[in-house]
């Protein structure tokens, strides 16, 4: 086995060669750490990384495997964890000075599931302040003058820069899909409630989702299969039959999928490269795509999302507001102030009006379409670090709790990646991955 490019392996490949004894987890983690030491001075994806602790986990995984005991699907594979997921062995600081040095006593549910699957918890990746807008230190791995997107900035950049094959993020508006698109990786936000958020910073019970980053669709399926499941500690998860993500995602669709190209009212924000790229994809898809107008009730989604997110953030960050508002960014203070002013009946109305929007999409899917085709962001990663870019192409799908995936299928004239977003009906997660694989192959072969 050629050991020089181990850091480029996908998680699925890495898990396989470790399982087969071709490489050790220690070799893989060593390679990833070398890659990090080479380029993280520029990218700055990590907020906590202890190479010795990562290597110790890898060696323990190797010893365990050699003992002949059964191993998990991610045995020995390193994963980056956004610094809003509690880890019992590393700090979890939520991107805020208010939590500097905080080390939780317990792992979040998904981190324990990763450990149970044999993964090496590589370290903690940079998040924007409280997973909202105020940027961290991370740079885009494709061009250090550009934002990586946010709020899962470090996770997207770390996977994009081949520092780890997998990373966890979150999405309350566009915090997984947008940075994935900007960093040229695959981002997946599953159905609301599919993956537990217990032990993760809570901004908004209604809108918070765990997000996944990888460089291949197989890896997304592999990771999703480990993490999906009921957790009594997250009131929005439900006991459901196990989803065979890997099996479904790697199947050929029985029929060529049909796509609904939905521009949404945000289309006017899309740049020329994005518009041109989508025109080409639509042309390639031919009769497999139809442009669909967004139904009127859905056009109010942005407004409902804003109300719900502001209120729930103001409620969840009340302690931080009361005790330390002078140490919050101006952006976050303004958001909390907006939330604190909303009347409860207006908040309830936003919740009530949002619910039927998904119903209309269900009809769309049941009648004719396998996935919605839409941009992941208005364009490639913007230059500069004042903002992490515009989440508005994600808002509607997040509000509806629908599964979304961003695929790095386009490129700007300046060479930066542009994401293509596919959206499926709630609980159509595995089939959405299958459809995404079909689209990626179709676009690759022209």
Q: Does 241 bind its own copies (CB under 8 A)?
A: no
CB count within 10 Å of CB 181 equals 36
Residue 200: DSSP 8-state? B
Kindly name the residue from 24, 151, 155, 406 that is annotated as catalytic. Answer: 151
Question: Nearer to its own copies by C-beta: 75 or 192?
Answer: 192
Tell me: does residue 234 bind its own copies (CB under 8 A): no
Scan residues 139-178 and list those touching its own copies (CB under 8 A).
none
Phi, psi at 324, each rounded to 5°: -150, 35
Beta carbon nearer to its own copies, 45 or 309: 309
Strands 78-82 and 120-125: parallel
Contacts with its own copies, 324-343, as mask; x by CB under 8 A: ---------------xxxxx
Q: How many CA atoms lie within 13 A of 196 on its CB side?
A: 22
- Distance of alpha carbon 436 from alpha carbon 433, whole angstroms: 5
Q: How far from 239 is each of 207, 213, 219, 288, 427, CA to CA, in Å?
A: 20, 25, 24, 35, 13
- Residue 286, interface with its own copies (CB under 8 A)? no
Residues in the chain: 446
347 binds its own copies (CB under 8 A): yes
Q: Is 364 one of the binding residues for its own copies (CB under 8 A)?
A: no
344 binds its own copies (CB under 8 A): yes
Site string for its own copies, 292-321 (x = CB under 8 A): -------------------xx-xx--x---
How far apart, in Å, are the Cα atoms of 349 and each of 103, 208, 342? 38, 19, 11
Of 65, 56, 71, 66, the closest CA to residue 26 belongs to 56
175 is catalytic: yes
Query: Contact between 102 and its own copies (CB under 8 A)?
Result: no
* Smallest distance, its own copies to C-beta of residue 236, A: 10
Q: Which of 349, 383, 414, 441 touches its own copies (CB under 8 A)?
A: 349
Instruction: Tell the smallest beta-carbon distance from residue 348 to its own copies (Å).
Output: 3
- Which candidate, 300, 298, 287, 317, places its Cα nearest to that of 363? 298
Question: What is the sign of the dihedral through the CA atoms of 265, 271, 276 and 278?
Answer: negative
Annotation marks residue 151 as catalytic = yes
Considering the complex, state which of residue 62 and residue 312 has its C-beta at the smaller distance from its own copies: 312
Any contact of residue 443 with its own copies (CB under 8 A)? no
386 binding its own copies? (CB under 8 A): no
Cis before 179? omega within 30:
no
Q: Which residues are catalytic?
A: 82, 151, 175
């Amino acid at each position: 086995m050629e050991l020089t490019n181990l850091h480029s392996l996908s998680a699925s490949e890495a898990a396989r060669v470790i399982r087969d004894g071709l490489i050790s987890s220690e070799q893989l983690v060593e390679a990833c750490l070398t890659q990090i030491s080479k380029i993280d001075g520029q990218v700055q994806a990590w907020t906590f990384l202890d190479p010795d602790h990562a290597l110790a986990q890898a060696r323990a995984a190797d010893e365990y495997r050699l003992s002949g005991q059964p191993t998990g699907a991610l045995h020995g594979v390193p994963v980056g964890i956004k610094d809003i997921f509690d880890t019992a062995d590393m700090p979890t600081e939520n991107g805020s000075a208010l939590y500097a040095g905080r080390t939780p006593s317990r792992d979040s549910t998904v981190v324990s599931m990763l450990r149970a699957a044999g993964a090496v918890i590589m370290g903690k990746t940079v998040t924007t302040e409280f997973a909202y807008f105020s940027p961290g230190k991370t740079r885009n791995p494709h061009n250090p003058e550009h934002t990586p997107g946010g709020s899962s900035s470090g996770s997207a950049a770390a996977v994009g820069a081949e520092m780890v094959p997998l990373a966890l993020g979150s999405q309350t508006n566009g915090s997984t899909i947008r940075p994935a698109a900007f960093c040229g990786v695959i981002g997946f936000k599953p159905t609301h409630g599919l993956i537990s958020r217990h032990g993760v910073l809570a901004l908004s019970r209604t809108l918070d989702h765990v997000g996944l980053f990888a460089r291949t669709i197989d890896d997304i399926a592999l990771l999703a299969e480990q993490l999906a499941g009921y957790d009594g500690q997250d009131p929005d998860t439900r006991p459901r039959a196990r989803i065979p993500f890997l099996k479904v995602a790697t199947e050929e669709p029985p029929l060529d999928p049909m796509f609904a190209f939905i521009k949404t009212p945000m289309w006017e924000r899309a740049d020329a490269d994005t518009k041109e790229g989508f025109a080409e994809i639509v042309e390639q898809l031919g009769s497999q795509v139809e442009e669909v107008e967004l139904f009127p009730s859905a056009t109010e989604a942005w407004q409902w999302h804003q109300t719900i997110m502001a209120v729930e953030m103001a409620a969840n960050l009340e302690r931080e507001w009361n005790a330390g508002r002078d140490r919050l960014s101006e952006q976050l203070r303004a958001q909390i102030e907006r939330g604190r002013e909303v009347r409860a009946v207006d908040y309830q109305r936003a919740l009530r009006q949002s619910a039927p929007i998904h119903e209309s999409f269900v009809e769309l899917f049941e009648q004719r379409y396998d996935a919605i085709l839409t941009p992941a962001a208005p364009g490639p990663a913007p230059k500069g670090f004042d903002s992490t870019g515009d989440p508005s192409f994600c808002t509607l799908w997040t509000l509806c709790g629908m599964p979304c995936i961003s695929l790095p299928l386009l490129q700007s004239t300046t060479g930066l990646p542009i994401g293509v977003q596919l959206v499926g009906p709630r609980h159509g997660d595995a089939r959405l991955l299958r459809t995404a694989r079909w689209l990626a192959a179709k676009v690759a072969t022209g």
